[in-house]
Amino acid sequence: MKVGVDPSLCEAHGECMSILPEVFDLDDDEVLQIRDGELAPSEEEPAERAVVSCPKGALRLSR
């Protein structure tokens, strides 16, 4: 499973970072950065919560 972001929707609220900081981070310009590659099995459930918690609906999961 992978997670992606639509940068045109993301407003850097940080909900995803508070749930899964190993995957989500903001750069110096407050642009969301997502770690590349497949999520570890232990990261899948928190990633699903992060997607649901995004107030702008900017995150998505793919298999």
Question: What pLDDT band is residue 43 in, cutting at 50, 70 and 90?
Answer: very high
Summary mean pLDDT of the chain: 96
C-alpha span between 46 and 49 (Å, rounded) = 5
What pLDDT does residue 56 have? 97
Question: What pLDDT band is residue 25 in, cutting at 50, 70 and 90?
Answer: very high
What pLDDT does residue 22 have? 96
Instruction: Say what percent of the chain tops pLDDT 70.
Output: 100
pTM of the model: 0.90
C-alpha span between 51 and 27 (Å, rounded) = 19
Is residue 3 classed as helix, strand or coil in its secondary structure? strand
